[in-house]
Structure 1
């Protein structure tokens, strides 16, 4: 039988060295499946893109450049347009990751053996080799108001402990967006990512829509990768705002207006109480109080590049 085909999609934005290292780890580790790598350059500076072009010397790699920053969801959906339409699986992998094991083969084997799985993820480690929390809970009023500890006692099957070291696959609410391995037929059925999410909450929305369509999400801890993230602790108001824009877009899709009002009150108070710690929290509280309007998304601040793209 022919090996399964995995289309691996990476987004590059002014970070070519991360992309080089990520691709190298994929080529080095992947042994048991057929694969292709599609790199979407999300309107990086010309200098970064020019350096990145050398990566296409490898036969399995395509490089596509967008003239506008499409964000996470939009960039990945552009990559899907260039993927093999007969691929069995899509692997959306952050470019600031490297594989520690043969992740593609391991996750493919798991999906082949688990018919209800639409999405799965590998176990994440940080740059120092420390195991990281790799899955989370879909936001509900109960978990926000009563706390995760309380709802976990009531529904342990829905809220498995996030800090536990797992030795085998476990069904989880959603896996972190740095590594999203999807059954192509399930992904295609739900129409892929919701591109209204420019940054953040894409993985929650994806898992929720898959669940509605009858597919579950799993963590497969035997597969391991490193995510080089969180190196900077500086805050950015526009980026912080984007999280709440995406979060409340999610709430508008899946929750009633009374629930959304309670969510707004919860996050307004949560941020407002911390304004003495950092004035940004006060600004965020006011932004949430105004309804976290989508029109203020970074999506609408992007411009189309007029630079000539040299193939």
Structure 2
């Protein structure tokens, strides 16, 4: 059997409700040769059983399941999937995404047009069909400060809110929910840094790819739908995810800016934690919202610098 052109790598965690639609969209739209591996980090068997049912009528080669014994985290799961595949290009997809066209072929056209491109991201649409702002500049302390204070909603120094996401553009980072990378370029920088359990792994990857002279491109001719965060959006885990995101942010700054950078971000994180804990606590009382209270609990943990208790 010849080597496939594209290897899809999908890391799942409690994704039984969305994974079949994701795999079916790959099968429906991908015209070129491909393979797809699902690395299942779920603590139970529901996602694995769902994938196995999908595989029953397939050849067992194009689509494969790799059930892990533990939750490896996103970065380690991606590396594991990449090692288990052979395609010239790696297409990382979240399990709550669906291709809306032959996105892989469209992004390969980007690499053909821009040979220095080493990571390409598609236009990502939410469930209501509205394009999502997925491009950002790389984080700096000043950009994170503006973002934490809510000023970046207008300034756009970090989140690039003034970019329409309707035309191709070279950027500094793109969302990891859908990301195409040449295999050689991926392993040239040793893949994703597995010290990032979840969050900031794609930010770190984009930075390292750029440091090697590569270009990061947003390519809207490729289209993907993203339901956004179905593995981590339950109210019961929202507080922990708020905390983990900021811990990953601190880890990123320690890696790239040393102890002073980590200290600066820790101060910003704690200031943000205090301010948002106060606001969300008040909103939770006024609106009687369990979601607001859970978010407030997460930001209190950020302010205190300790993980929230379950």
- Size of the aligned set, in residue pairs, is 282
Q: Take 2:243 and 2:159, find their aligned partners in 1: how far apart are those partners?
A: 29
Aligned to 1:121: 121
Q: Take 1:30 and 1:151, find their aligned partners in 2: how far apart are those partners?
A: 35
Would the alpha carbon gap of residues 65 and 230 (structure 1) be closer, same or farther in structure 2, given more than 3 Å must change?
Answer: closer
Aligned to 2:14: 14
Displacement after TM superposition at 1:133 (Å): 0.7
1:283 aligns with 2:301: yes
Equivalent pair of 1:133/1:163 in contact (CA under 8 Å): no
Aligned to 1:156: none
Displacement after TM superposition at 1:74 (Å): 1.1
Q: Which consecutive unaligned segments of at least 5 residues does structure 1 have?
A: 153-158, 291-295, 299-311
Equivalent pair of 2:131/2:165 in contact (CA under 8 Å): no
Aligned to 1:179: 178
Q: Could you state the TM-score of these two structures normalised by the residue count of structure 1?
A: 0.83
> 1:232-251: per-residue Cα shift (whole Å, max 9, x none)?
57363322221122111111
SS in 2 for 1:247: helix
> 1:102-134: per-residue Cα shift (whole Å, max 9, x none)?
101101111122111110100111111111111
Aligned ranges for residues 162-241 of structure 1 at < 5 Å? 162-230=161-229, 232=233, 234=235, 236-241=238-243
SS in 1 for 2:163: coil
Aligned ranges for residues 103-142 of structure 1 at < 5 Å? 103-142=103-142
Aligned to 2:284: none
> 1:90-110: per-residue Cα shift (whole Å, max 9, x none)?
000001001111101101111
Say which is worse superposed, 117-126 or 106-115, in terms of deviation. 106-115
Query: Please, what is the CA RMSD of the aligned residues?
Result: 2.6
Equivalent pair of 1:172/1:219 in contact (CA under 8 Å): yes
Q: Take 1:137 and 1:297, find their aligned partners in 2: how far apart are those partners?
A: 30
